C-alpha cells in the first residue's frame, strides 16, 4: 500500500532532518527562577522543545539548591518531567550561579521583589510573571499583540536605575484575557468595564486550593486579584509618551471567583462605549487583532465562537496551544455590549505570556 | 448519670406528644404535579413532614399513571423516598383524579401552560414553580417577604378569567435570590443591576446536564435564563395598583453560567443608585428584611457574612433549611456597590418558594 | 385550621420542655485534643448538642494556645462554628490545663504517641481516633457493635502501666466499615478478605489533598492505609482471653485509593469462607447485627440495599446520622461472595466512632 | 540568531515535504458507523490525520441521514470537528451507501447485531468496538500485542458464514487494560484474577452519566460490565487451534465502579499463580511486552511506574497518545501479587483498539 510506504519514508526523513537542524541551531540560554511551582513547571514544559531558547539553569529556594530537579519536583502538569531538565541540579537564585542570557521569573511576588532587581542589575534580561514590578513606572507591562511599543520603556528603566539588564513583565492571568479582548474595543470608544471571573484552580499554584474547599463549591474571593484586574488594564491600554505610560481613560470593576475547573479562566464582561456600538462591530474588532510571527504566537489571537454556549474552558483552553483567547456570546444590553472571554491561565495567562514577551524581544533585537 | 436519665425521659415524651399532635391536626390536602422530576422530588421532601400540609396525590405524565411512586421514581435528593408517598399510585394530571385543595406545580413550562389553567378553572389553588404564567398580567408572581400584597391579584384573576380557583407563581431560581437582596435596596434609590450567575447543576433538573459536559468545565449559557432574570424583578419589585403591577423603574442585565456545583446559585451583583450609598447603609438594609411567622420561613431572610470569602454554596446553602439567602463581599466601586448573593436553588429557589407562598395564603385565609 | 393551631402549640411546648431538660441534666465534661483539624471539627459538631457530654475544653498545638476557637479555626464542616465553643479559648495539650473527665483525641499519630499517655497517666479516660496505640497489646481497639467485651482490657492496661486513666481506641476509617460488615460473616466461616477502597477526601484532613491533585483523577495510594486495613481487623474480630487478644484466623489484603468524593468511603469486598455460603445467608447475617441503645447508635447498624447500584456515598452516607453502614450488590463468584460496603468516614469512621465508644463506657459504668 | 533562522527553514521545509507525501500516498478508504456518539467522535479524531486511512463516509441512524456532520454532532472531544468531516453528509448504515473498504463500528450492541453482518456479507472488513459478536465462536477478539494469531479465525468465519467480508472485534474497555497486563503474566503461571475497576465517565458515552448522579459520588455498578470483564479475558488469552479458541485456564472475578473522572480507567488487580512469583519477575514480564511497528502502536505497550502513587488517570492517560497501558504499585500479598493498571478508555480501550486491529490487518495483508 502506497500509504504505508510513504509513512515509513516520512518517519526516516523527519528524524534525519530534525537532527541536523538541532545541531546547527544556536539557541539562547535561559534560566527559570522558581522552577518547582505550578508556573515554573509550565515554563519548563513550554521551553522543553522551544526553537529559540534552551534551559541552562533552574533556580530554586535555598532548601532545594543542589538537589536534582527530577527527584525533587512534585511534577503535576503532565506524566513526566521533560528529559532536558530531569537530571539538572538546582542552583541558588543568585546571578553568579546562573549561566544564561535571559531569566524567566515564576516567583511569588514577595520573593520576586528581592531577586529580580539583582538579576537585572547584573545584566540579565528578566521576563517576569510576578506582580512585584508590574505597576512600576519604568517597567514595561506588555502583551505583544496589545502594546509592543511599551518595550521602549526598557531604555528608560536602564537609564534611571543604572542597570545593565532589565525587567519586563506580563499581566495577571485574569487581566490578560480581558485586555486582549478590550484592545480592539478601544477604537470603538470603550469607556467602562465590569468583569466577573470564574477562575481555574491552577491559578492558585500547587498545593493551592484544598480539594475539601472547592469540591461542589464556588469561592467568591481571590486575594489581591480584583485590584490587579482593575489597575493593570489602564497601563496596558495606555500610551507610552517616551518616558512613562499615560493610563487609558477607562474604568474597570471586577468580581473574582474560584470554580472547580483545572485550567482556563472564564470571564463575563460588560462594556460601555461613548457611542452606540453594534454586535457586528464588536465581532469585526475582535477578529481584526493580528497575530505576530513568533514561535509561541497562535494563528488567531482572538477566536470568535458563534455557538450559543461557547467558549468553555475544557473545550477551548488548548486553542492555539493555549495561546489563543476565545470569545463568545456577544450581545447587546441596555447600556452596551456583554460577552464571555476565556483563555488558558497558565499558558496565555502566565508562562506563555512571559515567553511570548521574550520572543518579541528577540525579534526586536533587544535580546539574542 | 442525670444526663442519661433525662435523655430517656425526653425520648419517650417526645414520641407520645408528637403522636397526639399528629392525630389531632387536620391538615390541608395537597397534590404535586410533575412529581418525579428534580423539583417534584424536592416538593415531596419538604412536604413529607409539613405541619400544615399533607400529600394526598401525585400526578405524573401519562406513561407513569398507575405506577407506584417509590418504584418508578429515580430518587436522587436523599437516600430514600419518604414513606408517606412510597406506595402511592400516580394519577393523571387531570383535576377529576386529584383529591386535594391545593396543587403544587413542578411542571416544565410547556406542560404547565396546558395543565395549570385546568386545575385553576376547576377550583384548585395552584402554587406554581413553572415559568408559564409568571409574567401574565393577572397572575401574582410572589416572594412572601418581598411583595405579599401582590396576592390581591388573585381576585382580579378570578374575576377576569371566571375561574373558581387560581394560579400563584414564584420566580425563577436565579431571580429569587437576586430580588430578595434587591428589595431592601429599593429604598436607597436602586437604579441599575448587573448580575453574573454561577448556577448549580440541580437547576437543570434530572438527568439534566451530562457529566461529560460539565466536569472540569463552565458552560456560559442557560437557555432562557437571562431573559427571566432581566424581566421578573421588575414585576416583583413593582407596585400593585389594584388591577395590575406597575413595573419597578430599574434595569437589569444578566449573564448566566453553569458551574460544577450540586446545589446553590452564587451571583455576583453590581448595583447603582440615584445617590451615593455607603456599604454600611447596604448592610443595614439587608439585615432589616423581616422574616414571616410561617413554618418554612427562616429565622433570618438575609444573612450577611462579614468574612472575605463568603457566601459559598457548599457551606451556606442549607442556612435556614435552605430558605435563607446569604450575602457577602459588599464593597464600593466607581459607580455603586458590588456584592455576592447565594441561595439554595431547589429550596428557596423552587419548591420551598412555592410552599412558602402557599403558607402565606393559609395565613391570609385565602386557603384552608 | 387545626394544623396551624397545633403547630403553634407544639413549638411552644417543645421550647419549654427542652429548656427544663437542659437545666436538670448533669452532663459529663469532655475535652477535644486537636480541635482545629477536620476530625476535631467533626467531634465538635457531633458533641455540640450531645445529651450526655458537654465540651469543657479544646486543646490545640502550642501556636494556637490562648486563641479564641471561633476566630482561629478554618471551619469547613458546616456554615458556622457551634455557639457552645465559638468563644472558647484554646488550652495546651497538657492534663493540668484541661478540666474534663474524658478527652477525645483527634490528634495525628505522631503527636498522639506523646500526648495521650500523659492524659491517661493523669487519670483521664482517652477515647482516641489516632492510630498510635491501636495495635498495642493492652489497649482496646473497639467497635461497640463488634467487640464491646474488649473494653475489659482497660483493667489490664491500668494494671500493667500503673495508670489512673486509660486509652481506648477506634479503628481506621476504612477498617471500621469493613469490619462492621465482616463481623456477622465470622459465624459463616470467614477465611479471606480482599478489599479495594474508594476513599473520600475528608479522610485526608484539611488542607489535605490539593484540588489540583484529585480533580478529574484517582490517586491509587494512601500512606500507611493498606497496612492498617490488613492488621486491625484481626484484632477487632479476635477473642479477648482475659489478658490479650487472640487474632482472628482470617487474612486480609487491601488496595486503597483516593477518589473525588467529599465524604463516604466505598469499598469493594471479596470474601471466601470455609464452606459454601449463599447470598441469602450473607444478607441475613448482615441484617442480624443488633444496634445498641446509645444516643449515637443508629437504628440499623447495617442497612442492606437491594437496588443494583447502591450503596452510593452521596446518597447513603448520612443514613443513621452517618453512623449506619450500608451494603449492597451482594453476589456470588467462583470462590465466595463479593459485595460493596460504604460508610461515612468522618462520622462512623472517626469522630462518631470515638463518641460511640465513650457512650458504651458510660453505659458500662466505666465512665460517668 | 541561528535558532530563529533554522526555525524558519524548518517550518517551510516541513510544509513542502508533507504536502508531497500527502499527494503521493494512496490511503485506504474507511467509514465510521455510529459517527455521532462518544466513541464515534474518538474514531474521527484519531483517523483525521491517519497516515494509512482516510474517512470516506460517516453512517448514522435514520433520523440523521442527509444531515451535515459538523452541524448535527454535539462534538465533545475537542474544540472543533476535524475539517475533513465537517461538511460530510451522513449516509444510512447500509452497505450500498457506503464507499469504503473498511468500516469501523462504534455502534451500540443492539444495533451492531443487525448492521455489522450486513456489511461483512457485502464484502466489507468490519473492525468493531461493539460487544455484539465478541464472544461468537468464529469472530476474532483481538488485541494486536496479545493475540495477533487469532486473526486467522477470519478464514473460518468467511468459510462458515459464506461471507465476502468479515468482522473483527476488540474487547471491552475495562477488559483491554486488564488483559494487556495479564498477557505477560501467563508465562509465570497465572491462575486467578480479581479486579476492582474505577471507570471514567466517557465510558458511558454521551449524554451518559448525569452530572447530578456522579458529582461527589461513586456509582458501584455498570450494566453488563462485570460479565464482560470475567468472560472476554479467557478468549483473548486462549489458544487458537485452527478452528476455534480454547479458553485460557484462568478465572476472573470483577467488581466495576464509576468514578468522577473524565477519561482513564483505573483497575486494582489481585493475581494468583501456580507457584511463588516475585515482584521483580512481574516487573520484568510487564516490561518485556513488545510494541508493534504500526502507526497507532505506542513505543511502550506497558509503562511501569516506580513511584508509590502512580498510575493516575489524569497524569498518565495520554502516554503513547493514549495507547500505552500504565501499571504501578506492584506488591506481594499472602497469596500472590497485587497491582494497579490504568489506560485511556476511549483510545486504547475503544477507538484506538479498533484502529490498531485494522493496522495489523493491513500489515498482515488481510486489508489494503
Length of chain A: 368
For range A219-237, the mean pLDDT = 98
Q: What was the pLDDT predicted at C254?
A: 98
Just list the catalytic residues of A: 173, 265
Cβ neighbours of A313 in B, within 8 Å: 216-218
Q: Is the pLDDT of residue C19 over 70?
A: no
Longest dimension (CA), chain C: 68
Q: Which residue of B has its CA nearest to A261?
A: B216
Q: Which residues pair with D102 in a beta bridge?
A: D30, D125
For range C221-233, the mean pLDDT = 98
D344 is a catalytic site residue? no
pLDDT level of residue C7 (50, 70, 90 thresholds): confident
Residues of D with CB under 8 A from a CB of A: 1-4, 6-7, 9-10, 13, 17-18, 21, 24-28, 51-53, 76, 78-79, 215-216, 295, 315-316, 318-319, 362-363, 368
Cβ neighbours of D4 in A, within 8 Å: 51-52, 362-363, 368
Q: What was the pLDDT predicted at C11?
A: 74
| Grid cell listed for C164 | 489512673
CA distance B258 to chain D (A): 12
Interchain proximity B251–A334, CB inside 8 Å: yes
Q: What was the pLDDT predicted at D76?
A: 94
Q: Residue A92 burial (CB < 10 Å; 0-12/13-18/19+)?
A: middle
Q: What was the pLDDT predicted at D60?
A: 94
Interchain proximity A207–C206, CB inside 8 Å: no
Between CA A56 and CA A270 the distance in angstroms is 44
**Nearest Cβ partner of A216 from D25, D51, D216?**
D216
Q: Which residue of C has its CA nearest to B312?
A: C79
Cβ neighbours of D305 in C, within 8 Å: none
Q: What was the pLDDT predicted at D127?
A: 98
CA dihedral D174, D178, D179, D185 (to 10 degrees): -170
Residues of C with CB under 8 A from a CB of B: 1-4, 6-7, 9-10, 13, 17-18, 21, 24-28, 51-53, 76, 78-79, 215-216, 295, 315-316, 318-319, 362-363, 368
For range A44-56, the mean pLDDT = 96
CA distance A10 to chain B (A): 37
Question: By three-state DSSP, how is residue B313 classified?
Answer: helix
Residue A192 · residue A250 · CB < 8 Å: yes
Q: What was the pLDDT predicted at D2?
A: 64
**Nearest Cβ partner of C315 from B17, B78, B315?**
B78
Interchain proximity B51–C18, CB inside 8 Å: no
The alpha-helical segments, DSSP class H, found in chain B are: 2-24, 38-47, 69-72, 83-86, 109-121, 153-161, 173-182, 211-214, 225-236, 279-288, 313-316, 352-363
Interchain proximity D38–B212, CB inside 8 Å: yes
Q: Which residue of D has its CA nearest to A317?
A: D79
Average pLDDT of the residues of chain C: 95
What's the pLDDT tens digit per position in B232-247?
999 999 999 999 999 9
Q: Is the pLDDT of residue C119 over 60?
A: yes
Q: What was the pLDDT predicted at A10?
A: 72
For range D183-206, the mean pLDDT = 98
pLDDT level of residue D25 (50, 70, 90 thresholds): low
Q: H/E element holding A155?
A: helix A153-161
Between CA B146 and CA A291 the distance in angstroms is 52
What does each C-alpha distance from C262 to C217, D210, D268 come to in angstroms? 14, 18, 21
Residue C366 · residue C154 · CB < 8 Å: yes
What does the radius of gyration of chain A's CA atoms come to, in whole angstroms? 21
Cβ neighbours of D229 in C, within 8 Å: none
What's the pLDDT tens digit per position in A154-172?
999 999 999 999 999 999 9
What's the pLDDT tens digit per position in C231-258?
999 999 999 999 999 999 999 999 999 9
CA distance B149 to chain A (A): 30
Portion of chain A with pLDDT greater than 90, in percent: 93
Residue B257 · residue B225 · CB < 8 Å: no
Cβ neighbours of D210 in B, within 8 Å: 206-211
As a three-state string, the secondary structure of A21-89 is HHHHCCCEEEEEECCCCHHHHHHHHHHCCCCCEEEEEEECCHHHCCCEHHHHCCCCCCCCCCHHHHCCE
Cβ neighbours of A318 in D, within 8 Å: 78-79
pLDDT level of residue D7 (50, 70, 90 thresholds): confident
Just list the catalytic residues of B: 173, 265
Cβ neighbours of C363 in B, within 8 Å: 4
Weakest mean pLDDT among A15-24, B198-207, C9-18: A15-24
Q: What was the pLDDT predicted at B4?
A: 74
For chain C, list the contacting chains (3+ Cβ pairs, <8 Å). A, B, D
Q: What was the pLDDT predicted at A95?
A: 97
Residue D193 · residue D270 · CB < 8 Å: yes
Pick out chain B residues at pLDDT < 70.
Answer: 1-2, 14-25
Interchain proximity C212–A209, CB inside 8 Å: yes
Residue D206 · residue D38 · CB < 8 Å: yes
User: Residues C33-64, buried b or exposed e (16+ Cβ, 10 A)?
Assistant: bbbbbbbbbbbbbbbbebbbbbbbbbbbbeeb
Interchain proximity C319–B78, CB inside 8 Å: no
Task: Sheet with B102-105: list strands edge to edge.
Answer: B53-59, B28-33, B102-105, B125-128, B166-169
Cβ neighbours of A328 in B, within 8 Å: 220
Comparing C-alpha atoms, which of A255, A237, A239, A246 is closest to residue A179?
A237
What's the pLDDT tens digit per position in A340-351?
999 999 999 999
Kindly give the pairing relationship between strand C325-332 and strand C302-304: parallel
Q: Which residue of D has its CA nearest to C332?
A: D253
Length of chain C: 368
Weakest mean pLDDT among A11-15, C36-40, C222-226: A11-15
Q: How many CB pairs under 8 A join B and C?
A: 89
Amino acid at each position: 500500500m502506497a500509504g504505508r510506504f510513504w509513512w515509513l519514508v516520512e518517519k526516516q526523513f523527519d528524524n534525519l532532518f530534525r537532527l541536523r537542524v538541532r545541531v546547527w541551531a544556536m539557541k539562547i540560554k535561559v534560566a527559570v527562577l522558581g522552577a518547582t511551582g505550578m508556573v515554573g513547571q509550565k515554563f519548563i514544559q513550554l521551553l522543553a522543545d522551544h526553537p529559540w531558547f534552551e534551559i541552562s539553569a533552574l533556580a530554586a529556594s535555598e532548601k532545594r539548591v543542589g538537589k536534582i530537579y527530577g527527584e525533587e519536583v512534585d511534577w503535576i502538569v503532565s506524566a513526566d518531567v521533560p528529559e532536558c531538565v530531569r537530571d539538572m541540579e538546582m542552583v541558588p537564585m543568585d546571578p553568579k550561579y546562573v549561566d544564561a542570557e535571559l531569566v524567566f521569573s515564576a516567583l511569588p511576588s514577595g520573593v520576586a521583589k528581592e531577586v529580580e532587581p539583582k538579576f537585572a542589575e547584573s545584566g540579565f534580561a528578566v521576563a517576569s510573571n510576578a506582580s512585584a514590578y508590574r505597576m512600576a513606572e519604568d517597567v514595561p507591562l506588555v502583551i505583544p499583540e496589545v502594546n509592543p511599543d511599551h518595550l521602549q520603556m526598557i531604555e528608560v528603566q536602564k537609564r534611571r536605575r543604572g542597570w545593565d539588564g532589565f525587567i519586563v513583565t506580563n499581566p495577571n492571568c485574569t487581566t490578560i484575557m480581558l485586555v486582549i479582548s478590550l484592545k480592539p474595543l478601544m477604537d470603538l470608544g470603550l469607556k467602562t468595564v465590569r468583569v466577573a471571573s470564574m477562575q481555574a484552580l491552577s491559578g492558585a499554584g500547587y498545593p493551592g486550593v484544598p480539594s475539601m474547599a472547592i469540591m461542589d463549591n464556588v469561592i467568591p474571593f481571590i486575594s489581591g486579584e480584583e485590584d490587579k484586574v482593575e489597575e493593570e488594564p489602564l497601563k496596558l491600554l495606555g500610551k507610552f509618551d517616551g518616558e512613562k505610560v499615560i493610563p487609558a481613560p477607562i474604568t474597570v470593576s471586577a468580581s473574582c471567583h474560584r470554580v472547580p475547573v483545572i485550567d482556563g479562566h472564564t470571564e463575563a464582561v460588560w462594556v460601555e462605549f461613548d457611542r452606540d456600538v453594534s454586535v457586528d462591530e464588536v465581532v469585526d474588532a475582535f477578529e481584526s487583532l493580528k497575530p505576530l510571527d513568533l514561535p509561541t504566537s497562535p494563528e488567531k489571537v482572538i477566536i470568535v465562537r458563534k455557538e450559543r454556549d461557547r467558549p468553555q474552558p475544557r473545550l477551548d483552553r488548548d486553542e492555539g496551544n493555549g495561546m489563543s483567547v476565545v470569545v463568545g456570546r456577544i450581545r447587546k444590553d441596555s447600556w452596551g455590549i456583554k460577552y464571555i472571554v476565556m483563555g488558558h491561565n497558565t499558558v496565555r495567562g502566565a508562562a506563555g505570556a512571559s515567553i511570548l514577551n521574550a520572543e518579541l524581544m528577540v525579534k526586536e533585537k533587544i535580546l539574542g
